[in-house]
A and B are shown apart, each in its own frame.
Chain A
Amino acid sequence: MSLSQDDVRRIARLARIAVSDDEVQESQSQLNQLFALIEEMRAVNTDGIEPMAHAQDVMLRLREDVATAPNRRDAFQAVAPSVENGLYLVPKVIE
Chain B
Amino acid sequence: MKWEVVIGLEVHTQLTTKSKIFSAASTAFGAAPNTQTAVVDIALPGALPVMNRGAVERAIQFGLAIGAKVNRKSIFARKNYFYPDLPKGYQISQFELPVVEGGAITIQVQPAKGDPYEKVINLTRAHLEEDAGKSVHEDFHGASGIDLNRAGTPLLEIVSEPEMRSAAEAVAYAKALYSLVTWIGICDGNMQEGSFRCDVNVSVRPEGQAEFGTRREIKNLNSFKFIEQAIKYEVQWQIDEIESGRKIQQATILFDPDSGETRMMRSKEDAHDYRYFPDPDLPPLVISEEWIERVQRELPELPVAMQARFAEQYGLSAYDARTLTASKELAAFFEATVAAGADAKLAANWIMGDISATLNREEKTIADSPVNAEALAGLIKRISDNTINNKTAKDVLKKMWESGDAADVIIERDGLKQESDTGAIEAIVDAVLAANPKAIEEYRSGKEKALNALVGQVMKGSGGKANPGMALELLKKKVG
Contact B53 A63 (CB under 8 A): yes
Any chain B CB within 8 A of the CB of A69? yes
Interface residues of B in 104-163 (CB under 8 A from A): 135-137, 140, 142-148
Contacts of B278 in A (CB 8 A): 53-54
Per-residue B-contact encoding for A51-95, CB less than 8 Å = 1, 0 else: 001111011111111111101110011000010111111111111
What residues on A are CB-neighbors of B27 within 8 Å? Answer: 67
A16 B144 Cβ-Cβ under 8 A = no
**Which residues of chain A come closer than 8 Å to B3, judged between CB atoms?**
none
Which of the residues B18, B50, B75, B146 comes within 8 Å of A53, measured between beta carbons? B75
Find A14's partner among B54, B146, B275, B282 (CB 8 Å cutoff): B275
- The answer to whether B38 touches A69, judged by C-beta atoms less than 8 angstroms apart, is yes
Interface string of B64-89 (1 = CB under 8 A from A): 00000000000110001011100000
B431 at the interface (CB under 8 A from A): no
Q: Are A88 and B56 in contact (CB under 8 A)?
A: no
With known contacts A62-B56, A90-B84, A67–B145 Cβ distance under 8 A: no
Q: List residues of chain B with CB within 8 A of the CB of A61.
A: 50-51
Q: A85 near B33 (CB under 8 angstroms)?
A: yes
Q: Nearest chain B CB to A11's CB is how many angstroms away? A: 9
B83 — which chain A residues lie within 8 A by C-beta?
Answer: 93
**Cβ–Cβ < 8 Å partners of A59 in chain B:** 283-286
Q: How far is the CA of A87 from the CA of B149 in the complex (A)?
A: 10
Q: How far is the CB of B276 from chain A (nearest CB, A)?
A: 12
Contact assessment for B34 and A77 in the assembled complex, using a CB-CB cutoff below 8 Å: yes
Q: At the interface, is chain B mostly helix, strand, loop or mixed?
A: loop
**B53-A93 in contact (CB<8A):** no
Residue contact B51 to A67, C-beta cutoff 8 Å: no
Contact A86 B32 (CB under 8 A): yes
Whole-angstrom distance between the Cβ of B59 and the nearest chain A Cβ = 12
Q: For chain A, which range describes its interface: under 10, 10 to 19, 20 to 34, or 35 or more residues?
A: 35 or more
Q: Closest A-chain residue to B27, C-beta based?
A: A67
Known pairs A14-B273, A56-B283; A95 contacts B265 (CB<8 A): yes
Q: Contact at A62–B34, with CB atoms within 8 Å? A: no
A68 to chain B, nearest CB (A): 5
- Given A53-B75, A54-B283, A95-B265, residue A73 in contact with residue B146 (CB < 8 A): no
Contact indicator per residue, chain B 14-48, by CB within 8 Å of chain A (1) or not (0): 00011100011111100011111110001010000
> Given contacts A66-B19, A89-B140, is CB(A60)–CB(B34) below 8 Å?
no
Residue of A nearest to B32 (CB): A86
Q: Is the CB of A87 within 8 A of B146?
A: yes
* Chain A residues with CB under 8 A of B50: 61-63
Smallest Cβ distance from B362 to chain A, in angstroms?
Answer: 35
Given the known inter-chain contacts A54-B280, A60-B51, A60-B282, please indicate yes or no for A84 contacting B97, CB distance below 8 A.
no
A87, closest chain B residue (CB):
B145
Q: Which residues of A contact B84 (CB under 8 A)?
A: 88, 90, 93
Question: A-facing mask of B286-326, CB < 8 A → 1, else 0?
Answer: 10000000000000000000000000000000000000000
CB distance from B251 to the nearest CB of A (A): 13
With both beta carbons as reference points, the residue of chain A lying nearest to B33 in the complex is identified as A86
Partner of A87, one of B75, B80, B136, B286: B136
A16 CB contacts on chain B under 8 angstroms: 82
Q: Among residues 398 to 424 in chain B, which have CB atoms less than 8 Å away from a CB atom of chain A?
A: none
State the Cβ distance, B213 to closest chain A Cβ, in Å: 25
- Are A65 and B18 in touch, CB under 8 angstroms? yes
Contact indicator B52/A92 (Cβ below 8 Å): no
What residues of chain B have their CB less than 8 Å away from a CB belonging to chain A? 17-19, 23-28, 32-38, 42, 44, 50-56, 75-76, 80, 82-84, 96-97, 135-137, 140, 142-148, 265-266, 273, 275, 278, 280, 282-286
Q: Give 4 new A-B contacts, CB below 8 A, not counting A59-B286, A89-B140, A95-B266.
A: A54-B284, A67-B24, A67-B26, A73-B34
Can you spell out 27 A-B residue pairs with CB atoms less than 8 angstroms apart? A14-B275, A16-B82, A53-B75, A54-B284, A59-B283, A60-B51, A60-B284, A61-B50, A62-B53, A63-B52, A65-B53, A66-B24, A67-B26, A69-B25, A69-B37, A76-B42, A76-B44, A84-B140, A86-B33, A86-B147, A87-B146, A88-B146, A88-B148, A89-B144, A91-B143, A91-B144, A94-B144
